[in-house]
Amino acid sequence: SYGLGSTWDTDLVQKVAEQAAEEARYYMQTTGNKRHALVMRAPNADLARDPRWGRTEESFGEDAFLTAQLTIASVRGLQGNHPRYWKTASLMKHFLANSNEDGRDSTSSDFDTRLFHEYYAYPFYKGITEGGSRAFMAAYNSWNGIPMSIHPCLEEITRKQWGNNGIICTDGGALKLLIEAHKSFPSFAEGAAAVVKATTGQFLDAYVPYVKEALEKGLLTEVDIDKAIRGNIFVALKLGLLDGDHSRNPYLSIGKDSTETPPFMTAEARRLAREVTAKSVVLLKNKNLLPLDAGKLRKIAVIGPYSDKIVQDWYSGTPPYETTILSGIRNAVKEDTEVIHAEDNRMDQAEKAAAAADIAIVCVGNHPYGTRADWKFSPVPSDGREAVDRKSLMLPDEDLVKLVLKANPNTILVLVSSFPYTINWSQEHVPAIVHITHCSQEQGNGLADVLFGKVNPAGRTVQTWVKDITDLPDMMDYDIRNGRTYMYHQGPVLYPFGYGLSYSDFTYEKIESVKQDKKNIRVTVSVKNTSGRDGEEVVQLYASYPDSKVERPSKQLRAFKRIPIKAGETRKVTLTVPKEELGYWNEGKQMFVVEPGTVKLLIGASSEDIRLEGKIRL
């Protein structure tokens, strides 16, 4: 998801979700297949407020608006556009504010209702009200002292106000944790009764004897159960699981023709995986080294622990094939170009390979699994995963990068990682740096497409990359106003939110017009590709509120568009901002309120690279 977020491309993310849904139906309906699941526990709508969070890789990033737009796209792709049936059901997770792994089974994420509505819950709200999801998973943690699996907001807000008439489920083992970790109830029967009464209708846990005991003791009624499971039945109906043999469900044909190529092995599936991988690449630095000219290179050194290995995380499954970075580079060059490989620097292998080559490509990063089976242990402090938060932001293999660069000044750092690093030394000294995430079966081909210029990079960062771990607030401080994310962070950063370079140069010429009606503001800007290479630009619009009577972020992303612009071409780009998106949550009125006054419109190439400024009066 971190890589999908880096594309800043909602249409592409929707296509990926459509492909996932196609494959899920195929698994469900292929004769003899044992995988019977159409409720997809995706997307992850949590917000990566802190880069130390172990599950950062599962998120779309730190920004509520970007995450909401990608969540909407993912939900729509998973569920399809049929008026009656869903292809699969999108069950978002983890509601709510689940962005610390250490102690997640008993900690409380504490913040006010403004941050609930404006930040932490916003992607879930949009996933339901605009995306059409009717399912989510309650998080392990508490919000302001009440465990999420029994929190009153499940019914009072998500069901009654937002309209989630589908599934609410617990996270795995949450009933046990409710008793043993949160210590909310003295018995499992009381805990099970509370979960059901909160309208949580699915347990990912042992529950049957405790629900029966709760019924017998009068802690729970059948009416309570009916109310909680009604949403389960609704989702089953939408999936067509309760229909007869003569269903009009168009998705029932998937997988029935045994002569067809499996959906994950079609040419289109391969092309899509390669395209989204290339579009996820973020070019962090380029000092006249990229793109590479394959025709001029005689020897390339490909180095590092992730040069010939694609690492899958907890939930990736098994890809149908894998093309590693080493293989992708070999595929991209001519037969007479030698590609030499060194996994590490044992017996000076990496340095020797780099010294002998025209170009050295060093691939380092993190391992999502860690190296031991211990659930809550990671031997590398800067690694993280589910159940383990990162204790460091330093790149453990930066010494390898230093040695390779010493041996060959034409070194490219490929950061294969799930989250940001404080690579200050590399940013200062290495001529070219790119970021790519784990898991893609087309990782090598997609990256090679960017390195050799077949694809002009336009990926953007989805988090603020700080310069030092001391720049971050305390891990358990969930009040983002205390210096978190681009909206509130003070001081210099390594790479700002929304940042990414291109092989092209783009000039933001002017704001052509700012128009408004009762519902929307439309801002049209002209952007010119002043280079000789076709490229894509991610045009970003941020809003700030100089006349606000309440505390607001320094700026907020409120529209974006990834657009192709040919060499020398000027494109007029229209960004639409619904006026309701400029409001804040008024706790007294319990609603979003749009204040009268001036709103600044900041348009640019990142949260810090603002090229044009306009304003409008509401």
Query: What is the percent of the chain where pLDDT is above 70?
Result: 99
Quote the mean pLDDT of the chain. 96
pLDDT of residue 373: 64
Query: Above 90 in pLDDT, residue 247?
Result: no
- Return the closest-CA partner of residue 277 out of 231, 209, 324: 324
- For 556, counting Cβ atoms within 10 Å of its Cβ (0-12 exposed, 13-18 middle, 19+ buried), the class is buried
What pLDDT score was predicted for residue 209? 98
Q: What is the mean pLDDT of residues 585-604?
A: 97
Residue (of 82, 94, 1) closest to 41 by Cα position: 94
pLDDT tens-digit map of 441-499: 999 999 999 999 999 999 999 999 999 999 999 999 999 999 999 999 999 999 999 99
Contact between 137 and 91 under an 8 Å Cβ cutoff? The reply is yes
Q: Whose structure tokens read 């040069």?
A: 307
Instruction: Produce one character per residue of 213-247: b if its CB has 16 or more CB atoms within 10 Å, e if not.
Output: bbbeeebbeeebbebbbebbebbbebbbbeeeeee
Q: Across the strands, what pairs with 299?
A: 338
Burial classification of residue 408, based on how many CB atoms lie within 10 Å of its CB (0-12 exposed, 13-18 middle, 19 or more buried) = buried
Tell me what pLDDT residue 267 has: 97
Rounded CA-CA distance 481/479 in Å is: 5
pLDDT of residue 37: 86
Per-residue pLDDT tens over the stretch 74-108:
999 999 999 999 999 999 999 999 999 999 999 99
Q: Does the pLDDT at position 372 exceed 70?
A: no
Distance CA 44, CA 124 (A): 9
For residues 176 and 211, the answer to whether their CB atoms sit within 8 Å is no
> Smallest Cα–Cα separation from 107: which of 195, 196, 183?
183
Q: What are phi and psi of 557, to 5 degrees?
A: -65, 130
Type and span of the H or E element at 72: helix 64-79
pLDDT value of residue 9: 98
Distance CA 368, CA 28 (A): 28
Helix 64-79 × helix 10-29 angle, to 10°: 40
Tokens at residue 539, please? 């045009």
Question: Per residue in 3-38, pLDDT tens?
Answer: 999 999 999 999 999 999 999 999 889 877 776 789
Q: Nearest 5°: phi and psi at 188?
A: -70, -30
Element (H, E) at 40: strand 39-40
Question: Residue 458 is encoded by which pair of tokens?
Answer: 């336009």
* Pair 561, 554: CB distance under 8 Å: no
List, in order, residues 6 or more apart from 109 with CB less than 8 Å away.
Answer: 96, 97, 98, 99, 100, 120, 141, 142, 143, 144, 478
pLDDT at 316: 81
Query: Quick one: pLDDT at residue 116?
Result: 98
Which H or E run includes 190?
helix 188-197
Q: Does residue 521 surpass a pLDDT of 90?
A: yes
Length of the chain: 618
Q: Token pair for residue 413?
A: 């750092």
DSSP codes of every residue in 335-380: TTSEEEEESS-GGGHHHHHHHHSSEEEEEEE--TT-SSS-TT--SS
Per-residue pLDDT averaged across 179-203, rounded?
98
Each residue's pLDDT tens digit, 531-588: 999 999 999 999 999 999 999 999 999 999 999 999 999 999 999 999 999 999 999 9
pLDDT in tens, 319-370: 999 999 999 999 999 999 999 999 999 999 999 999 999 999 999 999 987 6
Residue 429 carries which DSSP code?
Answer: H
**Inter-residue contact 325 to 303 (CB < 8 Å):** no
Stretch (H or E) spanning 575: strand 570-578
Residue 371 has pLDDT above 80, yes or no: no
Give the Cα separation of 291 and 279 in Å (integer).
15
pLDDT (0 to 100) of residue 318: 86
From 137, 152, 145, select the one nearest 183 (Cα to Cα).
Answer: 145
Tokens, residue 153: 């907001």
Q: How many CB atoms lie within 10 A of CB 510?
A: 13
Q: Tell me how far apart the alpha carbons of residues 181 and 204 are, in angstroms, rounded to a whole number.
A: 16
| Distance in angstroms (rounded) separating the CA atoms of residues 415 and 433 | 7
**484 token code pair:** 């978190």
User: What's the rounded mean pLDDT across residues 226-231?
Assistant: 98
Task: Determine the 3-state secondary structure of 416 from DSSP.
Answer: strand
The torsion defined by the Cα of 469, 475, 479 and 484, in degrees rounded to 10, comes to 20
